[in-house]
Amino acid sequence: MVKSQSVVGQALTGIAVVAFELAIVATLVSAAERSQGTEPYSLRLLRFRTYPDHTRVVLEGTRRHEFVLKEDGASGHVVLDVKRGIASPSMRFSDVSDGLVATIETRQLGHDTRITIHGAGRRLWTKIFALDEPDRIVVDLFPREAQEALSQQTDTVMTTTAGRTVQPKLATRSHGATVASPPEQIVNTIVIDPGHGGRDSGAIGQSGAKEKEIVLDIGLRLRRLIEETLEMKVVMTRTEDVFIPLESRTMIANRHRADFFISLHVNAAPRSRAVGVETYFLSREPSDLGARASAVRENTALNLEGVGQEAQRDLKSVLWNLTQTLYVKESSELAELLLNELGRSLQVDNRGVKSAPFFVLIGAAMPSVLVEVAFITNPDEEQKLEQETYRQQIAQALLAGIAKFKARYEKRVGFMPAVAPVVR
């Protein structure tokens, strides 16, 4: 009896030990699952950028991924499967609408993530590669017909003396909007960006004048003047009261390979009686080394065969700095010319050329400036801004500044127009 009790006791003890061990295993498995749950996404970000001849889509991961290109774009779509990739919900849908790419969709297919890039009705040609630190998959999308045409062409790339490379405009993405520029036309295209718009009114004056309406009117007047006087192509980022995201405005300029970019704004300082005009150019360069290295990797397409990796990195860094310096110098010159013309013509306070990290100027592959034509918060200036003649005067002054910049730039790169444009 005692023996049988002892056997039962041992059996119960055994069961208890097994149960305890199972509980520990279950706890450990659960903890492991929870710890996986703290790092749920292996693909954390999808971003895109429009370049003059292609669109770049970048998938940022928290680790390296294998990927398979299921469709290469010949059908107008690109399908990419990222093996064992778990996409962040923020990557689900992106509206690109840049003329080459319409949208990008992300779906989870079991253990893999499927990225579908829908073209905007044209056949695409795809280049795909991986980068690390951080881990990225980069998809470059080109119009297929342009790629085919380019492959049959001889090298027709021209380099201006100022160092800017002018490529043949075959690869423009707009439908049927290929621009056949005469080769001697160096300063050909300007982008005018009336700030704000749509749901974003910008600054509002005391009597209700809205920045978005004033700058649109000035922009449209300026377009007319430039087309009539300087015979340049003018691209407007908006011609009506619509909201355009800031990044799209620079994209538009890059897509059209504009020679320079002018963003029009009206200033506001509600706590002071500030008056006058001021112009800004971009002061910020990619600040830390990592960001700069990343930008170099993604923004340059240099093939430096036979050069060591370390030397390549240094050379690209130098080239990047040179490019930035070049645009800073040109942008500052454009800002100064516009400011002087505004100050002289409007007889208002010239508040100087300033520099600041303005979003709309970042990423513009050309000289770019932001102009503040008046203070809407100053009742006198608000009243003047509401007058049509004053807005026309502002547009005239801007035109004079643009004409001077164009003439200087063309002289510098060796092009002399037969007859210099008379603006004033």
Q: Which of 134, 270, 379, 414: binder of other proteins (CB under 8 A)?
A: 270
The answer to whether 295 and 363 are in contact (CB under 8 A) is no
Amino acid (one-letter) located at 121:
G
The answer to whether 266 and 215 are in contact (CB under 8 A) is yes
Q: How far is the CB of 412 from other proteins (least distance, A)?
A: 28
Nearer to other proteins, 117 or 214 (CB): 214
Q: How far is the CB of 239 from other proteins (least distance, A)?
A: 19
Nearer to other proteins, 125 or 281 (CB): 281
Contact pattern from residue 354 through residue 393 relative to other proteins, giving x for each residue in contact according to CB under 8 A and a dash for the rest: xxxxxxx-x-------x-x--xxx----------------
Q: How far is the CB of 246 from other proteins (least distance, A)?
A: 6
Q: Which of 269, 307, 311, 318: binder of other proteins (CB under 8 A)?
A: 269
Q: How far is the CB of 348 from other proteins (least distance, A)?
A: 15
Q: Which of 274, 295, 315, 365: binder of other proteins (CB under 8 A)?
A: 274
> Taking CB under 8 A as the criterion, which residues in 190-209 touch other proteins?
195-196, 200-204
Q: Which of 254, 267, 332, 396: binder of other proteins (CB under 8 A)?
A: 267
Tell me how far CA of residue 267 lies from CA of 135, 207, 377, in angstroms: 41, 15, 8
> Taking CB under 8 A as the criterion, which residues in 295-354 touch other proteins?
351, 354
Q: Which of 280, 282, 254 is nearest to 361 (CA)?
A: 282
Q: List 200's β-bridge partners, or say none.
A: 197
> Taking CB under 8 A as the criterion, which residues in 82-141 touch other proteins?
none
Name residues whose C-beta falls within 8 Å of residue 339's C-beta, 6 or more positions apart in sequence: 277, 278, 279, 350, 352, 353, 371, 401
Count of Cβ atoms closer than 10 Å to residue 127 Cβ: 14
The DSSP letter of residue 379 is: H
Q: How far is the CB of 341 from other proteins (least distance, A)?
A: 20
| Burial 11-40, CB ≥16 within 10 A → b, else e | eeeeeeeeeeeeeeeeeeeeeeeeeeeeee
> Taking CB under 8 A as the criterion, which residues in 227-266 touch other proteins?
246, 265-266
SS3 372: strand
Regarding 284 and contact with other proteins (CB under 8 A), the answer is yes
Name residues whose C-beta falls within 8 Å of residue 145's C-beta, 6 or more positions apart in sequence: 122, 123
Binding range to other proteins, per CB under 8 A, among 20-28, 283-291, 294-302, 410-418: 283-291
Q: Which of 128, 268, 319, 326: binder of other proteins (CB under 8 A)?
A: 268
Run of H or E including 57: strand 55-61
Nearer to other proteins, 136 or 265 (CB): 265
SS3 310: helix
Q: How far is the CB of 399 from other proteins (least distance, A)?
A: 23
Q: How far is the CB of 357 from other proteins (least distance, A)?
A: 5
Binding range to other proteins, per CB under 8 A, among 68-76, 144-152, 272-280, 409-417: 272-280
Q: Which of 111, 176, 271, 347: binder of other proteins (CB under 8 A)?
A: 271
Using a 10 angstrom Cβ sphere, with 0-12 exposed, 13-18 middle and 19 or more buried, the burial of residue 381 is buried
Task: For 151-302, list the strands marked E by DSSP.
Answer: 158-159, 165-166, 189-194, 233-236, 260-267, 277-282
Nearer to other proteins, 163 or 290 (CB): 290
Q: List 81's β-bridge partners, or say none.
A: 68, 114
Q: Which of 283, 317, 323, 383: binder of other proteins (CB under 8 A)?
A: 283
Number of residues that bind other proteins (CB under 8 A): 37
Q: Which residues of this chain interact with other proteins, rule CB under 8 A?
A: 195-196, 200-204, 211, 246, 265-272, 274, 280, 283-284, 287, 291, 351, 354-360, 362, 370, 372, 375-377
